[in-house]
Chain A
């Protein structure tokens, strides 16, 4: 740890010296720069960087980016460096080292972007109608250089601080930041055109930023609402699970295992997010199963088992009014189908079973085998995997089983060893129930051995 932080400090020191050198030595003659404009725009930059929005889509670019680019287009390399360095004065709590680091990084990136802009025959400060469309190329280049330099400097500091390879971090940030930088770059260009070309001054900058700020606000609201949504459904589902505390956290873990499988399969992000919800909600139909049946000790009669088998149908009855969950609903409905057609509720076979359902089926069985039940202890991950392999081709889709096994090699699985105390015990009455387990593939029903 000690050596790592020393490495970071040394790195920040090098960047700070470079940035200072740029500010001192690259300063143009007084009559070549509009110092007031540079100061106003730098203040604006610092102000925008002061407010950090929580942002889940796109990474690495602050709200200040368009302003920094506008500064580069209006004043050239040195002005951009000054604007970047103004980050030293952001109005939020930042540790001194980080503050110096951010300012140096933006100053260097701004200077590089400005230099590239000038090298490609862009004329800082001249943005009248005659410059178009020729100026678009240097502007795009400047925007890309700004974000690439930022990404490189950032990945170095991350690799120093967290001991991951530069390349790994760089690939993650670069791919996402280049398209975003072009989009944001447009705002920078608009700001510069209005400020210089139409002569509207500071007001123009503010007006250009309004739609962007409002969009950002809406995105951050979206993220917050999404988190609230996830928290709400998992909690409500947990409340349901209190009917039988041996299954506590089961839905959450099924959801987690399903996402692990989906990642190995390379599923799209939006589908993964739908699958996450499907995992959490897959047993919601159990609410319709009378509590005394779920908590019954001992074997179930065939008619009682029929009632339990109705739970996926009851589940979709509840969920079908939620618009976006279409694919998730199919996953919930069919999560007890088997590839050999002996499952329920419809007895679909193989590829007829929706992909989500095939994923959830494996995740569901895996978690119930590795959890403690009233009538048996938890099995080890290895035993559960062996059991999954045994039932592959009859009960489970082999592709999903293999995917889970691959995922388990990558990440460690943390099974629930004992029923977790969720803090609800104080208020919710508990009945120790020895429910027989319809999720566990090794457990069979007394009357119909093959349907389990």
Chain B
């Protein structure tokens, strides 16, 4: 449901970013044709590394595409002062044109292999590099600007500081755009998305930024050698990130597979845990849960029926919504006990344990200690128990109505309202 939800709706923010980048590239190309690039060999060398970077791009947790080598090379080209003894002369437009062209070249093999590149990611990279170049190139001005005075022995420390500052600003700019696209795609609050993107900054982005600055500085002495020599450490960084992303993915796949335990053993309906987790994730995003909370929510939703394995006789259809509250709580706590045994999923265990709790009891205030994730799973589980994989709209509406009727105690109104929105959008775009 959520997957379709994401694809069916065109991302306006994404289109906007791509559109702006296209205009920028078009202007750059026109200007580059009018005033041809002077230092072609330098442009070519950096272009090669940008293209290679795009070729060996990776996907990070949170479905983020990254091309560390390419991004660092593009950044270095934007911040390049002296190359050996010669001041470099490329303009902002040259930087944009070279980056865009090289990125496209690097993307060709991916397209040939059937992996279409994400246009918004490429557009974002071009815009960010343009941003960095706009902060540096006019003030360097081919060796005539104020920054060029720092470009001398014993002044390099200050030049490096200026570069680091530009990189930090560029990272913020990039995170801002990325959050814009993500917030719209996930229907999440902008602040949550921005926070998620800023957290990524502390990881791979800082390594990319540092490498970009180092290449630009070291090119004064090492010229062309600066690219491969400083690219190598970044390749190591990229490699370790790929392994990390790999095990994260394996973990998620394994939990998804093993959560089918209850289905295979005949305790729950086929696809129940997957549907509950997708519905829960869509609601969780909209309610502004952070990325790490969303991972916990997904795992908890997938394993929410684990406790049923301890029942001697399966509940008819596996629908926990039809058994007594006491029995529901017992199943929840048994599942939580198993999950807690892992020693590494404590938060998930808490969410599973409290999935049957009402959000408030008669004559009491709202239970603040109840995790939002538990409330979401409670509602998504009840909804799926009532609807299953049926596509009848009457059944869907009936189920939503039952949830709304129970909003006084059982279901959190905020969760139900978000869930109703998600379900209706899902229905509109077809299952």
Interface set of A (CB-CB < 8 Å, partner B): 128-129, 183, 186-187, 190, 193-194, 197-201, 203-204, 207-208, 210-212, 214-219, 221-222, 225-229, 231-233, 235-236, 238-240, 242-243, 284-285, 287-288, 290-291, 314, 317-319, 321-325, 422-424, 426-429, 431
Q: Which 9 A-B residue pairs are closest in the complex by CB-CB distance?
A: A210-B210, A228-B344, A218-B240, A215-B237, A214-B207, A211-B207, A235-B342, A288-B264, A239-B338
Whether B341 contacts A227 by the Cβ 8 Å rule is no
Interface set of B (CB-CB < 8 Å, partner A): 153-154, 156-157, 160-161, 164, 203-204, 206-207, 209-211, 213-214, 217-218, 220-222, 229-230, 232-234, 236-237, 239-241, 243-244, 246-251, 253-258, 260-261, 264-266, 306, 309-312, 333-334, 337-339, 341-345
List residues of chain B with CB within 8 A of the CB of A427. 310, 333-334, 337
Given A239-B306, A422-B341: A128 and B221 interface contact (C-beta under 8 Å): yes
Cβ-neighbour of B257 out of A128, A186, A242, A322 (below 8 A): A322
Q: In whole angstroms, what is the CA distance A356 to B416 when docked?
A: 49
Q: In whole angstroms, what is the CA distance A425 to B160 when docked?
A: 63
Known: A208-B214, A214-B237. 7 other contacts (CB 8 A): A190-B218, A198-B156, A210-B211, A288-B265, A318-B264, A423-B341, A428-B334
Q: In whole angstroms, what is the CA distance A429 to B338 when docked?
A: 13
Whether B260 contacts A318 by the Cβ 8 Å rule is yes
Whether B258 contacts A284 by the Cβ 8 Å rule is yes
Chain B interface main SS type? helix
List residues of chain B with CB within 8 A of the CB of A317. 264
Cβ-neighbour of A204 out of B160, B234, B264 (below 8 A): B160
Whether A203 contacts B265 by the Cβ 8 Å rule is no
Q: In whole angstroms, what is the CA distance A229 to B239 when docked?
A: 20
Whether B261 contacts A236 by the Cβ 8 Å rule is yes
Given A231-B344, A423-B341: A201 and B157 interface contact (C-beta under 8 Å): yes
Whether A187 contacts B233 by the Cβ 8 Å rule is yes
Whether B251 contacts A429 by the Cβ 8 Å rule is no
Whether A324 contacts B237 by the Cβ 8 Å rule is no
- Min distance, Cβ B229 to any Cβ of chain A, angstroms: 7
List residues of chain A with CB within 8 A of the CB of B243. 218-219, 222
Q: In whole angstroms, what is the CA distance A231 to B241 when docked?
A: 22
Cβ-neighbour of A222 out of B209, B247, B254, B260 (below 8 A): B247
Number of A-B residue pairs having CB atoms within 8 Å of each other in the complex: 190
Given A214-B203, A214-B204, A429-B310: A200 and B250 interface contact (C-beta under 8 Å): no
List residues of chain B with CB within 8 A of the CB of A288. 264-266
Whether A225 contacts B248 by the Cβ 8 Å rule is yes
Whether B157 contacts A199 by the Cβ 8 Å rule is yes
Whether A318 contacts B240 by the Cβ 8 Å rule is no
Whether A193 contacts B237 by the Cβ 8 Å rule is no
- Min distance, Cβ B141 to any Cβ of chain A, angstroms: 22
Q: In whole angstroms, what is the CA distance A322 to B240 when docked?
A: 21
List residues of chain B with CB within 8 A of the CB of A233. 254, 258
- Min distance, Cβ A309 to any Cβ of chain B, angstroms: 16
Cβ-neighbour of B232 out of A186, A200, A324 (below 8 A): A186
Given A186-B233, A225-B244: A428 and B251 interface contact (C-beta under 8 Å): no
Q: What residue of chain B has the Cβ atom nearest to residue A236's Cβ?
A: B258
Whether A323 contacts B250 by the Cβ 8 Å rule is yes
Q: In whole angstroms, what is the CA distance A141 to B210 when docked?
A: 28
List residues of chain B with CB within 8 A of the CB of A424. 337-338, 341
Q: In whole angstroms, what is the CA distance A222 to B345 when docked?
A: 16
Q: What residue of chain B has the Cβ atom nearest to residue A203's Cβ?
A: B160
Whether A193 contacts B221 by the Cβ 8 Å rule is yes
Q: In whole angstroms, what is the CA distance A351 to B230 when docked?
A: 48
Whether B156 contacts A199 by the Cβ 8 Å rule is yes
Q: In whole angstroms, what is the CA distance A323 to B249 when docked?
A: 9
List residues of chain A with CB within 8 A of the CB of B343. 231, 235
List residues of chain B with CB within 8 A of the CB of A227. 344
List residues of chain A with CB within 8 A of the CB of B260. 318
- Min distance, Cβ B196 to any Cβ of chain A, angstroms: 17
List residues of chain A with CB within 8 A of the CB of B229. 186, 190
List residues of chain A with CB within 8 A of the CB of B214. 190, 194, 204, 207-208
- Min distance, Cβ B47 to any Cβ of chain A, angstroms: 22
Cβ-neighbour of B251 out of A198, A200, A232, A235 (below 8 A): A232
Q: In whole angstroms, what is the CA distance A429 to B234 when docked?
A: 53
List residues of chain A with CB within 8 A of the CB of B210. 207-208, 210-211
Q: In whole angstroms, what is the CA distance A368 to B399 when docked?
A: 49
Pairs across A and B, CB under 8 Å, 26 listed: A194-B217, A198-B156, A201-B156, A204-B214, A207-B160, A208-B214, A210-B211, A211-B207, A211-B211, A214-B207, A219-B244, A225-B248, A233-B258, A235-B338, A235-B342, A242-B309, A287-B264, A288-B264, A290-B266, A291-B265, A318-B258, A319-B257, A321-B257, A423-B341, A424-B337, A424-B338
Whether B153 contacts A215 by the Cβ 8 Å rule is no
Whether B157 contacts A324 by the Cβ 8 Å rule is no
Whether B250 contacts A217 by the Cβ 8 Å rule is no
- Min distance, Cβ B262 to any Cβ of chain A, angstroms: 8
Q: What residue of chain A has the Cβ atom nearest to residue B344's Cβ?
A: A228
List residues of chain B with CB within 8 A of the CB of A194. 214, 217-218
